[in-house]
Structure 1
């Protein structure tokens, strides 16, 4: 692993106050892994999710619970 990657990993493991935050670090690493694994499908899902939130906001609603979607093309369940 290059020195630059080690520095970036170290930065991600710290919160805004500079304290070690393993929970946030693990979540960020999981998101990065999903982005690599699912590529364009990941981008499609988050674009759709942002559109859903935007439409709800325009209509005067707020999404309270988890949205679960299944990709008809791939069969992947997005939570």
Structure 2
């Protein structure tokens, strides 16, 4: 009996450097910010990280994310 394992459905998101994508997932943003997944979701839900709710998922527009990050005072970034 052959067991086939499909990884395509459960594969991690493509690299965040893919310029064709207009958004990050919350998990990708968490990774970029060195935050836990839970902390990133909390910041998205309370509006700290700019995000858009699309159905049951959150997406973070790349341009707004980087503008927000660039505008964060250094005292808050540490």
* Structure showing greater Rg: 1
Structure 1 or 2: larger strand share? 2
Structure 1 or 2: larger helix share? 1
Which of the pair has the greater relative contact order for Cα pairs under 8 Å at 6+ separation? 2
How high is the TM-score relative to the length of structure 2?
0.29
